Chain A
């Protein structure tokens, strides 16, 4: 297979950046495997327990950028206990001991300690980029270490982490010599920060393109920052509260007018009414707008704002926009590709403001739509069928009806036909979340039509094992399956055990699988790790095989059972 010298092949491989493609390349032959592994710089590990740090380091000595994911997706919704696992520490320690010149680390749902952050900051001279998404276990002291020690830091991006905020001083830890910042996002921090230090940092960072502030940053600081950083492309405001007739507000208006590069806007963590007109000048060029943390913004003020945003491609909003407001979006935002509508009153008694009507309006007006997350009060089959016809390009379709087993609001039928239409029409669908009253029939459709489906989330659906079997047998590209509160049991789980080796993971909670079933699976498939998670107050795991299992999480792994499992996790 070697018609070219290694250097030529290496050069060719340089053009191959997608992880999937590089993985395929490495399987062609031994020689290609060798060349590929020495030239690989970016590695993506979707489940940190599928491989060990040592094997990673051994295979990819040229590693520069590592992405690691820890807890399963349902951990986002409090279904996984905090100390389940996903610890960063062993990875950092192993990497620090090696000769790896790590430059970029991206983590999702991992447990990160201050010690790990400090070790990270001191071990890699060229470290440039830290992105933490939905992580926990660290405080602002760990962030301070990163700021103080990473001399060439370009990116510090903290997205929706649970951080213990020790208030303020971490920002002052960026040395005066640090002028390389391109991206700084600390919106999720809850504490006060040193505003003067922030302003000085912005002033000495001429390459700053992305800046997302937290709630503690008031409007007048925002105005000062914008005056010094008009080149910003992605802005997250902090607290957006001020008297609209004040001098500061006027200054803010002129500051926004100078910011001709802003394409992405978020924040508004506190909003005062009648202050939004200041941002109208930026709206014309916006491609991403995130108002999901601004419940104070609704009604006319919100729709007037939207009407200025003709180039919007991604919109994240709360359902207080209402069906009518979605109609305004539909007629204004013709370039829209991604829409997320979150519930503004998630625990309230049915005050949700969007229904199937809003979704239908969107589908009719925004034909480029390919990604949807929609929390709504109700849905109908007719609406879903219309949406499927209008928008055949969906890659991600996630629907959440707040009452999870609600039938078609008009006909009282299950929503099988509606979702069936979606999977049949959207031939490129990769991710799907179902809700509403659903029988086994919807799974028959999914198994039949959802050929590209990679991730499926199911809750309170189906009648029998057949449902789960339709999916396992039909969806050849399925990688992640997560199920809660469905009547799927051992028969479905055990029918095709080899299937799980082709997938990253399977989550089942509050279903009908028993301990015996899980044990059988674990016995037959040693390449899988089958975890039983018991986070009730019960101290002991019952030994009765007929017991139903509350939470089961299984995943394929090359390194056997993990050794860091807490007491309440039993690996079969």
Chain B
């Protein structure tokens, strides 16, 4: 007949009505989902199995699931604020580097924060109009000022002390 849908047994509310509702309507949507299942379309690794506390997949005991989720939350709430100065503006800003996942992310935030076009190691630049741009640099653990973007993101995170945006 086709594989039973995965969602019918999970804690996702919308699917629980399959249990005792009208067989006609529900079984056709059940079949659609099962086709998706076979094609691997709607099943990604786990979001469909629910991030809720009452999840029934993967089959781990609730105490272990809670302990691991707690630890993840602790990691997610870690922050790393650094000072950011724009040349010519005496008052600086502060920025949480751990709220960003990559250099691209960081540049986007800074460009919004300071309303400027910012160059870093991998930026594409319009060579005729350098004066429009600002350069992003950082002070590392040794006190040297370096252009942002040359080293891997994680390495940058462990070295950076503060940021400066200077005119080209």
Residues of chain A whose beta carbon lies under 8 Å from any beta carbon of chain B: 76-79, 134, 160, 162, 188, 269, 292-293, 295-296, 318, 342-350, 375, 400, 402-405, 459-460, 462-464, 484-487, 489, 509-512, 534, 536-538, 541-542, 544, 546-550
Contact = CB atoms under 8 A, between A and B. Distances in A.
A330 B62 CA distance: 30
Contacts of B55: 78, 347
B23 to A, nearest CB: 6
Nearest to B51: A347
A78 B63 contact: no
A290 to B, nearest CB: 11
A402 B45 contact: yes
Contacts, number: 136
Contacts of B146: none
Identify which of A134, A160, A403 gathers the most chain B CB atoms within 10 Å of its CB. A403
A74 to B, nearest CB: 8
B107 interface: no
13 contacts: A76-B61, A76-B62, A295-B68, A295-B71, A342-B60, A346-B65, A346-B68, A349-B44, A403-B44, A459-B59, A485-B6, A485-B8, A510-B9
Contacts of A160: 61, 63-64
Given A160-B63, A293-B64, A348 B4 contact: no
B62 A78 contact: yes
Contact of A78 (B11, B17, B20, B46): B11
A136 to B, nearest CB: 10
A188 to B, nearest CB: 6
Interface centre among B19, B62, B67 (most CB of A within 10 A): B19
A360 B29 CA distance: 40
Nearest to B9: A510
Interchain residue pairs A-B with the least CB separation, the first 6: A550-B19, A510-B9, A350-B45, A536-B16, A542-B20, A77-B59
Given A344-B68, A403-B46, A463-B3, 8 more contacts: A78-B55, A79-B9, A345-B72, A346-B46, A402-B46, A405-B37, A550-B18, A550-B20
Contact of A509 (B9, B23, B46): B9
A409 to B, nearest CB: 12
B141 to A, nearest CB: 19
A296 B72 CA distance: 10
Interface in B14-35: 16-20, 23
B46 A347 contact: yes
Given A536-B19, A542-B20, A550-B18, A134 B64 contact: no
A348 B16 contact: no
B140 interface: no
A484 B7 CA distance: 11
Nearest to B61: A76
A296 B71 contact: yes
B143 interface: no
Contacts of A511: 4
